[in-house]
Amino acid sequence: MPERVALQVLVATGNPGKRAEMERLLRAHLPDVVVLGLPDVEAYDEPVEDAPDFAGNALLKARAGLAATGLPTVADDSGLCVDALNGMPGVLSARWSGQPKSDERNNRLLLEQLADVPDERRGAHFTCAVAFVHPTAGEHVVEGHMAGRVGREVRGGGGFGYDVLFEADDAPGRTTAELTREQKDAISHRGHALREIAPYVAEVLARSEG
């Protein structure tokens, strides 16, 4: 009897924190799937993220992963949208302070930009678009959101990006960098999006296996 070929899906990100979070959430729904990251496949040219919205950028990355590896690919694009900055940094979140990308520099710049903004006007939300692209099943995109506010100082050692500044409405008084992985997964924008798309990914992979 031929050896069963493992179901595989590529998570197209080079951010180790993001990849770990996405893998953790996908495995909750797809325990038997083999989740590969960019370090596990032959290097390819990643696309320029020049779409005007999160969904467009997620699709760019997922399409590139499928084209380069032939593997069903999950990719996301996410960012922080600050009310007092008219929704910025938005899709520019990762490179808000310029290149090379730096979480520390981005957070410092954001604090400077909001220095004179009172607490009642520091509302913000995270948005995450997750795209799944399959060789025969096509493309599927979902979005998740996490509402909250931007604090006044860096706190916490977990997470990545703006987590050290963001206080979610569902976990007041703590930044998302001060939450446990499980607590953050339960309320995060990426957690909401992945929990929505994971059953679809499972269905498509199971169907393709059969």
Q: Nearest 5°: phi and psi at 143?
A: -130, 145
Query: Are the C-beta atoms of residues 42 and 52 closer than 8 Å to each other?
Result: no
Which residues fall within 8 angstroms of residue 161, CB to CB, at 6 or more apart?
17, 80, 93, 94, 103, 106
DSSP designation for 136: T
- Bind-site residues for substrate: 13-18, 78, 160-163, 184, 189-190
Which has the closest alpha carbon to 148: 112, 188, 186?
188
CA atoms within a 13 Å half-sphere pointing along the CA-CB vector of 182: 1
Question: What is the greatest pairwise CA distance in the chain?
Answer: 69
Is 77 considered catalytic here?
A: yes
Tokens linked to 31: 């325990």
Per annotation, catalytic residue among 50, 76, 77, 83: 77
CA of residue 25 relative to chain centroid, distance: 11
Angle at which helix 189-209 crosses helix 16-29, to 10 degrees, equals: 60
Name the 3-class secondary structure at 155.
coil
Q: Which helix (H) or strand (E) holds 141?
A: strand 138-150
Active site members: 77
